[in-house]
Amino acid sequence: MSNSRSLSAETHETPETTSFVQDFLALIKIGIVNSNLITVFTGLWLAFQFSGVNFLQHMDILVYTLVGSALIIAGSAAMNNYIDTDIDPLMASKRSRPTVTGRFKPSAVLALAVSFIVLGEIFLFSASVSAGVLGIAGILAYVVLYSMWSKRKHVSNTIVGSISGAIPPLIGWAAVEPTLGTGAWALFLIMFIWQPPHFYALAMKRTEEYRAANIPMLPVVKGFHRTKKSMLAWVIFLFPLPFLLPELGTGFFILATLLNLGWLILAIRGFGVKDDLKWAKSMFIYSLNYMTILFVAMIIFAVFV
C-alpha cells in the first residue's frame, strides 16, 4: 500500500514501526478507502452545488460524512480480510496480507473492523439519517452479499460486489440532500457500471490465483474471450450516463464521451491482441485513470458551469 517513514532517531525501531503501519494500511485497504472517498466527496460536492447550499456553512456535514465514510469503508475492508483468511494464503498476491502473515490476530482484526464500522455509522448518522442508512446498506452489500456469499459461489460475484462500490457517492449526496436527486443516481450508475470492466481486468491478471483458491471469477469460469465481451458491453453502457448530469454542461459531456471512446477502443483492441495479460493490465490502468479524471472533472465543472 503506502509507505510510512518513522521520525524516530532510533533507527533500530524504524523497520518495526514502518512494518506495523504498512500492515495496518494493508489491513484496511487504504487504496480502496482513498478511491471511494473521492466518490463520496463528489456526491457531497454536487449535492451542495446543485441545491445551492453553501458548503462553508455546513463544514460539520462534510467532516462527519468523510470521516464516517472512511471508517466504514476501512472497517468493511478489514472484515473482508478477516473473512478471507482461509483463501488468501492460496493467492500469491495476497499472501503478504497481515491476516495471512499473522501480524494481526483474527480476534484483533474483527474487533477493529466492528469498532470502525460502529464509529463510522455514528458519524454518518450525525450527518443525516439517510447517509447512515445508506452506510449500513453499503456495509451489508460488501460484507454479506459479496464477501460472505457471492464471491465464493457465483460467477456474478463481481456484479454483486459493484453494488457496494456504487453506494459511496449516494452517501455523500444523502448527507446534503437526504431524498436523493437524479444526479445522485447518475453517480450510482456510473460507479456500478464502471466496476465490472475494472475488476474483470484485474481478475484476468490473477486468473490462476483465483482458480487455485476456487473463486468463480468470470475469467476462471468462462475464459478470457467471454470476459472481454462482457467488458466491452459494460463500457458501452457507460456512454449515456454523463447526460444524466445536465447541470455539468457541454464541456463535461465532451470530456466524458472522449474518455468512454478511449476505453471502448481499448476494449475492442482486446479481441486482436496476442498478450491477453498485457492488455488486461492496460485496461486496468485505464479504468483507474478514467474514474479519477471523470470524478475530479465533475467537481470542477460543478463550480464553473
| Each residue's pLDDT tens digit, 243-299 | 999 999 999 999 999 999 999 999 999 999 999 999 999 999 999 999 999 999 999
54 — pLDDT class (breaks 50, 70, 90): confident
Per-residue model confidence (pLDDT) at position 3: 36
Per-residue model confidence (pLDDT) at position 10: 31
Per-residue model confidence (pLDDT) at position 19: 75
CB contact set of 243 (below 8 Å; sequence gap of 6+): 253
Distances (CA, A) of 27 to 2, 11, 108, 169, 254: 12, 25, 11, 23, 39
| Structural domains of the chain, ranges and CATH numbers in brackets | 14-304 (1.10.600)
Q: Grid coordinates standing for 181?
A: 436527486
Per-residue model confidence (pLDDT) at position 131: 97
Q: Grid coordinates standing for 77?
A: 475492508
Per-residue model confidence (pLDDT) at position 52: 85
Q: Is the pLDDT of residue 228 over 60?
A: yes
Q: With DSSP H G I counted as helix, E B as strand and the rest as coil, what are the percentages for the chain, rounded to 5?
A: 85, 0, 15
Residue 222, classed as helix, strand or coil, is: helix
Cα separation, 70 vs 36, in Å, equals 8
Q: Is the pLDDT of residue 12 over 90?
A: no
Q: Grid coordinates standing for 221?
A: 469460469
Q: Is the pLDDT of residue 9 over 90?
A: no
C-alpha torsion 203→209→214→215, nearest 10:
-20
pTM here is 0.90
Count H helices, E strands: the chain?
A: 15, 0
Per-residue model confidence (pLDDT) at position 266: 98
More confident residue, 1 or 95: 95
pLDDT mean over 240-244: 96
